[in-house]
Structure 1
């Protein structure tokens, strides 16, 4: 391996808020005991689920900040023996939920010669939001464009991962692709398996499409995108159950990446 190259596993996971959380908590614990990633991004986070993740990833750090969104929307974890925090922040990209923004951290690998990495996440607006239902206008395309603009400023040409519950199958994916981001399946010449909803699901959904047996059409809406000097090595939609229960109504996505060494990055500039 080239000096300064650096390989790690990233995961993105929508934790389904407080829905059936007491019943799901043992499965969440078992998932992270079995499949602890080096980097973790979450959506629909709540204080209780955040505490569970903290307990199950004792070798990881996360953002501690007074902005409520870090406890009620998203947070980002990193394995401390592999990464150190440089800086972090949020950006308002127009997501229509309280304290829902683009959340990001800049991390420095603890490997000589490895370049810093921006790791980020967002949860784009649900298509059933009252504003979208009222005017029929897709809100996520503009949100994705604003994410690209924000990460252009935050990351520049550096290695960047953007993880997302995109809540869509079209326009925002195109916006990210046009912004230079490549999802972890397309990077490997593959298509993503379904990430939502989990099947079989022991709990009845309260919204969605009544003609679907799961109240929601099967779709891939959870993604890890990369841009810059980072290479996708493997990608997986994780199918995980514990004692018959799923940890969430979404499946986590995990991908393995290698950061290019500093010398290789310099040669490309």
Structure 2
């Protein structure tokens, strides 16, 4: 077994639920066959898309649990030759969607001397949720506070990666930053490219959303945050099309990290 520091690639991806999934399946499969990350976090997962990912990444493991959110909201994959699972969980942080949680795993790199890692994901509440439309209060700010507190309890002074579809461009990001989390672009002195919406999507013909005639503005809402003894090496928003079709209406974010050895 090797010893010392440990470098790997993590990715976060909102898979867009069941929307046009049959048409997008080949593109999802092609993306993860072409460039499977060492760690993958997903949002808007469904049992069918989960099966596609399992097929495309046969060298990866994920959480298997009866709680339905692991198949209808999020799951986490890790390359088995690189990581061992220590424990996992799904923590309620106030996200207003069925079975939505902060989903997390604690992983141990299969390299002597490498530090353990908490790897987590969440999909914060959509701004169009009826409760937010009723009182105009930003629900994601409090959810980000609960996420930060939960991860501090889980990871302590150890390394932590938190991936998220944050559904916002303001206060929830500030909460995470003020809690010690640094996104993979800021860590490199950069700003994130747009992650949503993907254009063009040939099977989407509507303009605007069901709540407004305005089209969705271009924005960065998909992030990988790091905290603790872990170094960001590279980061990108991935542009990927297969036969003219995008795998999702979001773009994945991929970043390379190094865990220092326990003696570093």
Q: TM-score, normalised by structure 1?
A: 0.95
**C-alpha offsets along residues 23-69 of structure 1, whole Å, 9 cap, x if unaligned?**
00000000001110000000000000000000000000000000000
* Aligned Cα root-mean-square deviation (Å): 1.1
Unmatched segments (≥5 aa) in structure 1: 265-269
Q: Please name the residue that 1:59 is paired with.
A: 59
Instruction: Say whether the 8 Å CA contact 1:107–1:119 is kept in structure 2.
Output: yes
Segments of 5+ residues of structure 2 without an aligned counterpart are none
Q: Deviations over 1:208-265 (max 9, x none)?
A: 6523xxx20000000000000100000000000000000000000000000011002x
The correspondence of residues 194-213 of structure 1 with structure 2, limited to 5 A, is 194-202=194-202, 203-204=204-205, 206-207=209-210, 209-211=212-214
Q: How many residues align?
A: 260
Q: What is the distance in 1 between the residues matched to 2:205 and 2:169?
A: 24
Q: Give CA deviations for 1:179-210 in whole Å, capped at 9, x if unaligned.
A: 10000000000000000000112213553652
User: 1:10 aligns to what?
Assistant: 10
Deviation by residue 1:71-128 (Cα, 9 ceiling, x = unmatched):
0000000000000000000110000000000000000000010010000000000000
Q: Distance in 1 between matches of 2:211 and 2:160?
A: 33
Measure, in 2, the Cα distance between the counterparts of 1:133 and 1:217: 19
Q: Which residue of 1 aligns with 2:120?
A: 120
Aligned to 1:252: 252
Divergent runs of 4+, >2 A: 204-211
Name 1:227's counterpart in structure 2. Answer: 227
- 1:186 corresponds to 2:152: no
- Indicate the SS of the match to 2:89: strand
Superposition pairs of residues 1-269 of structure 1, within 5 angstroms: 3-202=3-202, 203-204=204-205, 206-207=209-210, 209-211=212-214, 215-264=215-264
Between the aligned partners of 1:207 and 1:198, the Cα distance in structure 2 is: 18
